[in-house]
Amino acid sequence: MADAAQKPLLAITLGDPAGVGPEVVVRAWSDPRVHEVCRPVALGHPEILRRAVALTGSSARVEVIDSVSTIAQLGLDPSDPFRIPCLPVGSDDVLDAPPAKLDARSGQAAYEAVVLATRRSIAGQFAGLVTAPLSKAALHAAGHHYPGHTELLAELCGVDDFAMMLYLPKSELPDSRAGLGVVHATLHCSLRSVPGQLNPGLIAAKCRLANILMRDGFGLADPRIGVCALNPHAGEEELFGNEENLIISPAVGMARAAGIAAVGPLPADTLLVRARDGEFDAVVAMYHDQGHIALKLLAMHRAVNITLGLPIVRTSAAHGTAFDRAWQGSAEGSGMIAAILAAAELARREFRFVS
């Protein structure tokens, strides 16, 4: 195991306390691969974390800390799988919120943990941030009107040029060079609104963000970016739509003029197969499900959500709060493990997006 001081210190939020977040955090803590590469610190209510420890039957104990510097003062090793340092966030109100149900108190707790973790990461106290899933509806019920983590993080970091990437590491795709990332030109919006939101500059910007991450974050000298068409068969010579010729082709041209190895627009149903087989390192999808469905079919529980464009490292598991499985002791922890490992790799490279 590497010297503890050389491993990045990562903030791990518990997500919505009513969902599977606390359980998957505890399950990830028991995996030795996590502690080989980073020093994790949990952010959330310690009692919620203790409940998750009891639920999973873990032998770990929760150590309450009042600051990151307390870790050194108490001699705690955050890479100890039997100790979970927890930086408390939020009020005791959340302890009365019901498990596995939407509740504003849970939404508020999740919000406060993300805000604190982000601010501490921006200040350099953490080398990266890994978030457990929150409920968008609970977030709204608490009065925080964001479509999700991505938009909240972008506002906290003060950036306008950002994107969500779903990423599968190379361990899941042996034919890939550095795993496969899928970036979304549009994200949390209705399907009918997608064509009106697309423009060449937007799509070219997502190509640029994908190129930066695969190049500087995962070490590829020449990332290859495949760009999805919007319509079936890439429009079939405008029989099924003209967005390919009017919007997407010009965007690809802009990306190529900037030195990015972008190709497209290509039919989405075959592009993702080609990317899986190693022909592309990243894909730019035009809308949420165009990218999500294909990647999650490849490896639902091991996909990682990476926010592009932030001045900090941020990853998360690619699944949601799963209220239907929450607090039953059966949550799948591999997605959280993958998210922590990806954050540790990016933090180790001291990767940051710069404007």
CA-CA distance, 227 to 263, in Å (whole number)? 6
pTM: 0.93
Averaged pLDDT, groups of 10, the chain, 355 residues long: 74 98 97 95 98 96 85 62 92 97 98 98 96 96 93 95 94 92 94 97 98 96 97 90 96 98 96 96 97 90 94 95 96 95 95 79
Could you give the count of Cα atoms lying within 13 Å of 105 in the half-sphere of its Cβ? 14
Predicted confidence at residue 116, as pLDDT, reads 97
- My answer on whether omega of the bond before 265 falls inside 30° of 0, hence cis, is yes
Domains and CATH numbers, the chain: 1-160+309-355 (3.40.718.10), 163-305 (3.40.718.10)
Neighbour-count burial of 122, counting CB atoms closer than 10 A to its CB (0-12 exposed, 13-18 middle, 19+ buried): middle
pLDDT at 1: 44
What confidence score (pLDDT) does residue 4 get? 63
- The whole-angstrom separation of Cα 261 and Cα 58 is 47
* Identity of residue 237: E
